[in-house]
Structure 1
């Protein structure tokens, strides 16, 4: 699906990622975790094309085709390949309705207007009743559902989520967890997310990558993300 090899990134003269390797396998859910400011969002932005990579390779694999190096490939072209992204700030258009936000996302992906797929509202039934409301009128939990739905209407093969639980309540966290598990384990969607809550990670993820000061200091099966490892790398 996606292979990262020796990824390095700088903000000006400050190095933010140090030779990061990461392998995303089809149908798996991988969680990038670590303390705040350790390079997690930067890594996601390098994958989506929102941040340039100083060195290293990001290879996109499709069955039956040669691997494609994403160096120099635009954000829009990566989305067309099948990379969906829900950023931490969601980037909902507050003056547009729920329907218009979803339609705009489909237009950006396909270049032409399309009807909203019915299964989107099956996943997020609350949004159907709010489809004519503007983004500015939605509660935090509903904004997160809309952000996730907007990524899914583009029919991604890889869904990237940056701290999807930030700012939402416990009930919404349960809904998000259930949605991610369904998308990943029932529908086969590959998922990459940034998250710090261990209980949520263990519920949704198959594998983890732990970043510390821009370095990938541990990765493997989520069962290996034990208390000893967390105490060593996740203590402020």
Structure 2
């Protein structure tokens, strides 16, 4: 689905990402983890197009289509390919209704004629009865649901989640884990998860990529993410 090769990124003279390689396989959930300040969100911003890449390559791979050079695509072009992103701060429109938040996501993706997919209210049944309520009037739990629903309404091929459990209650964390597993298993969605909660990572991820000072120091099947490896690179 997405292949990164020798990606480098700088903030001024500060080298933030170092020759980073990453493979996102179709239908799998890959987690990027590491201590704070190690380059996780920077990597996401490079993939989504919010930050430029100094060198390296990012290639979008889709069955039946020629490879696409992601670095030539603007943010909206990456969304059109099938990339969707949920930021840590949710970014819902508080003055718009639940339904309007979903519809504006369709408009932004230039598919205004498409109806809200049935799977949205199937995955988030509580939002259906509240679809005419303004986003800012929802509880934190339901706002988190809405942010995720808005990312899924365009039926993306790649879903990027930036620390979705941060500041979340246990109810949402449990529900989110169920949804991630279902999205990858039943819908074949590819997921890139930036996360630090190890119990959650081990529950939902298929593969991991461990960053330390902008370098990929370990990666592989999530079964390899044992306590010894974590303590070597993350724990003090």
Q: For the superposition of Structure 1 and Structure 2, which TM-score range results when normalised by the shorter chain? A: over 0.9
Residue 111 of structure 1: CA displacement?
4.3
Which residue does the alignment assign to 1:64? 64
Partner of 1:6, secondary structure, is strand
Alignment of 1:153-168 (within 5 A): 153-168=153-168
Task: Count the aligned residue pairs.
Answer: 236
SS in 2 for 1:209: strand
Residue 101 of structure 1 corresponds to 101
Deviation of 1:113 after TM superposition, in Å, equals: 4.2
Q: Are 2:62 and 1:76 aligned?
A: no
Deviates more, 1:200-209 or 1:128-137: 128-137
What is the CA–CA distance in structure 2 between the aligned matches of 1:151 and 1:161, rounded to whole Å? Answer: 10
Kindly state the Cα deviation for residue 115 of structure 1 after the two structures are TM-superposed.
2.4
Matched, 1:13 2:13: yes
Residue in structure 2 matched with residue 142 of structure 1 by the alignment: 142
| Unmatched segments (≥5 aa) in structure 1 | none
TM-score (norm 1): 0.97
Q: 5+ residue gaps in structure 2?
A: none
Q: Distance in 1 between matches of 2:216 and 2:61?
A: 22
Are the equivalent residues in 2 in contact too, given 1:49–1:75 (CA < 8 A)? Answer: yes
Tell me the SS of whatever aligns to 1:160: strand
Aligned-partner SS, 2:202 = helix
**Equivalent residues of 1:107, 1:114 under 8 A apart:** no
Contact 1:83 1:159 in 2 (8 A): yes
Structure 1 equivalent of residue 27 of structure 2: 27
8 Å Cα contact 1:208-1:220 kept in structure 2? yes
**Paired residue for 1:224?**
224
- Give the Cα separation in 2 of the matches to 1:151 and 1:131: 16
TM-score by length of structure 2 reads 0.97
Q: How does 1:146-225 map to 2 (within 5 A)?
A: 146-225=146-225
Check whether the contact 1:6–1:19 (CA below 8 A) recurs between aligned residues. Answer: yes
Q: Which runs of 4+ in 1 moved over 6 A?
A: none
Cα separation, 2, equivalents of 1:144 and 1:216: 30
